[in-house]
Structure 1
Amino acid sequence: KLSAPCHPEAMLVTPGPLSRIAPAAAPPPRLHTGGVAAAAMAALLLLSPLQMIAPAALHTQVAQARELASGSGSKVNKDPNSLLRLGLPGQPKEVRELQSGLEGCQDNLSRLLFSKANGDLANARAVLSGKSAAILKKVPAASVPEAEKLLASMATKTEKLAQLISGGRVSDETTEVQNAALADLSKLEGLIAATTPPVKVPAEFAAIPQLNKRAVVEFIAKKGPNAESSTFNIDGNLFKTATLRMEIDGYTSPVTAGNFIDLVN
């Protein structure tokens, strides 16, 4: 929906740990184009040529994300936020069970398969009620209070979600509660992944910038003087500038991501 010609600018909004590069200060947040930015990140996660240098455990995570996002299976995962969660290392099986339940519920609700959605949601709620202690054991001690709040928040939201879908319909509130629960899950997985040691890369890449975790880059596009229109039409709304926020993944592609952030800086 961004018509050319335009002039793009880029800035680092949320820096991750980047070797040999000083992180930039974070400006205030701007217009968020949501799924487009996450889709761009998912492309970086899946298409990186540097997976060959990662250890075996990392290969497993990337292979799982690639399999779910490819056409080789009967079900293709096209949710960029889900793929970002799958790319976070160090997650215990209880967290992946919780993720599977919440995402399965979301997918089945999108297809109005309420019986299956209720089953997936019940599985997620069972994890929250019976396996939260096991999940908290994988959280860094300093982050346990925050993790407890996130788990409690997800328990409340999933209870509300169960009530909302019991009538056999999907409303705006249903989508809002569902997305909020998944956002809590992403934060929880981020707390666990934060303690994962950086991926070790071969010595020949030592002089190349490396991003050890994740960073957010904001692209701002402005119409040029020869453009037919001075505004961008984004989802039916007109803007003088268009902003794309991209999440750059250094967990699975530290060298590719590091070079990208180096170019931004």
Structure 2
Amino acid sequence: MLLPGPAAAVLNSPNARIARSADAALRRAIPAFNGDVREVQTKLEDVAFKLRIPQRKPWQAMADDVGVAAAVMATPERVMYGVPKGKEGTAQQLNASISSGLRGVLGAIDAKDADKVSRRVADVLKDVASLEILQAPGLSFIVPDQFSSQPRLTGRATVELILERKGDESAFVDQKGGGPIRQARLGITLDGYSAPLTAGNMAANIQDGIYNGKTLNASYASVLAGAGALPGKLVPLEILPLGEFDPVYRSTLDVQSGELPVLPLSIYGAVAMAHASSDQAPIPDGYSAADEFFIYKFSKEQAGLSGLAFDEGIFGVCGYVTDGLELVPQLQSGDVIVSSRIVDGGEHLIRP
């Protein structure tokens, strides 16, 4: 399986408005509390976009973008705005790392080394995202009162799933370590900034251990788990469109007319709640199952002329597999979730 490289992490033709990697989608989902830091992000994403020009790359234009970003980072009073008390030290370390990284990007641009520019831009963007998360005060919108009784995630959380294949001690291949492993470990980043109810529902399920011992149902398009764990319980469909301030609830997006989600389904490893389950009664329109989730295995074969999945805008994505992605295609029906837990961000989970 080929995964998007760093240079493709921001945008990918033919639809240049939508993120094409988990890193880019999650970065865009962070509320833009500090406009100066967001400008640094935008300039770096511009570099990544220009880097994809196939022949005569605009090296000087890229250098100019980096210069603007470096000038912003050279004004710490602007960059540090919004950092909460007690987090100044972490912010200063990120500031120093970003500034150093920008110098490295500029050096790679001067050397006209596209691969090195791509890697260094990706690394700096990760630090920029960490700084933006540090500055984000929480949700930038109010969840509708009608859903006030449901769990919500008011920021980011990382969860972990440990999976095994019964009777097979070497079921999975660790491509990083180069050998067989008994367990598959998946790390999923849940995004409450864009999908507080959906991400909160999944985080609560993991906190309650409802997926422990559940078997997977895998196909060429997705990996599902959790059906029947919470019979009859539903969560509203929740999708934040690009350019909007709050999510749309109980309604799909009209992708054909240009409505696009901040968290696209059209990324390998997207995580969403299922709309229907063989173990339950039919689910009403505008809702999803509160128990069964799926990991989407997006491929070009599942895409239309726009480069998007045919189901884009229909499912409410709440996060992405961000660790162990190479293990997803190895998962099979019958594999078991041995354990699950919230690794970090649990303090953002609110359970009324």
Shorter-chain TM-score above 0.5 = yes
Among residues 180, 186, 189, which one is paired with 2:123 in the alignment?
A: 180
Please name the residue that 2:35 is paired with: 93
Question: Would you say the 8 A contact 1:199–1:252 is kept in 2?
Answer: no
Scaled by the length of structure 1, the TM-score of the pair is 0.62
1:94 is displaced (CA, Å) by 1.2
Cα RMSD for the two superposed structures: 3.3
Distance change (3 Å), C-alpha of 1:208 and 1:139: same
Report the Cα distance in structure 1 between the residues aligned to 2:78 and 2:22, rounded to whole angstroms: 27
Q: In the TM superposition, what are the counterparts of 1:1-265 in structure 2 within 5 Å?
A: 74-111=16-53, 113-115=57-59, 116-129=61-74, 131-171=75-115, 174-193=117-136, 195-196=137-138, 199-225=141-167, 230-232=171-173, 234=175, 237-240=178-181, 241-265=183-207
Q: Give aligned pairs, total.
A: 198
Q: Which moved more, 1:174-183 or 1:247-256?
A: 174-183
Report the Cα distance in structure 1 between the residues aligned to 2:49 and 2:32, rounded to whole angstroms: 25
Q: Counting helix residues as a fraction of each chain, which structure ranks higher? A: 1
Structure 1 letter corresponding to 2:107 = Q
Matched position secondary structure for 2:189: strand
1:75 is displaced (CA, Å) by 4.7
Distance change (3 Å), C-alpha of 1:249 and 1:141: same
Structure 2 residues without counterparts, runs of 5 or longer:
5-9, 208-352
Q: Percent of counterpart pairs with the same letter?
A: 26
Structure 1 residues without counterparts, runs of 5 or longer:
2-33, 36-64
Distance change (3 Å), C-alpha of 1:231 and 1:127: same
Scaled by the length of structure 2, the TM-score of the pair is 0.48
Question: Would you say the 8 A contact 1:114–1:168 is kept in 2?
Answer: no
Question: Would you say the 8 A contact 2:139–2:155 is kept in 1?
Answer: no
Deviating 4+ runs (over 6 angstroms): 68-71
| Cα deviation 1:27-70 (Å, max 9, x = unaligned) | xxxxxxx98xxxxxxxxxxxxxxxxxxxxxxxxxxxxx9xx799
Question: Would you say the 8 A contact 1:114–1:165 is kept in 2?
Answer: no
Question: Would you say the 8 A contact 2:152–2:199 is kept in 1?
Answer: yes
Report the Cα distance in structure 1 between the residues aligned to 2:58 and 2:13, rounded to whole angstroms: 26
Q: Counting strand residues as a fraction of each chain, which structure ranks higher? A: 2
Question: Would you say the 8 A contact 1:94–1:134 is kept in 2?
Answer: yes
| Cα deviation 1:89-139 (Å, max 9, x = unaligned) | 24222111100112222333355635143232222212212x432222222
| Cα deviation 1:132-175 (Å, max 9, x = unaligned) | 32222222233233222211221111112211221112355x55
Q: With CA pairs under 8 Å and 6+ residues apart, which has the higher RCO, 1 or 2?
A: 1
Report the Cα distance in structure 2 between the residues aligned to 1:134 and 1:152, rounded to whole angstroms: 14
Distance change (3 Å), C-alpha of 1:102 and 1:243: same
1:180 is displaced (CA, Å) by 2.8
Distance change (3 Å), C-alpha of 1:102 and 1:218: same
Report the Cα distance in structure 1 between the residues aligned to 2:165 and 2:118, rounded to whole angstroms: 34
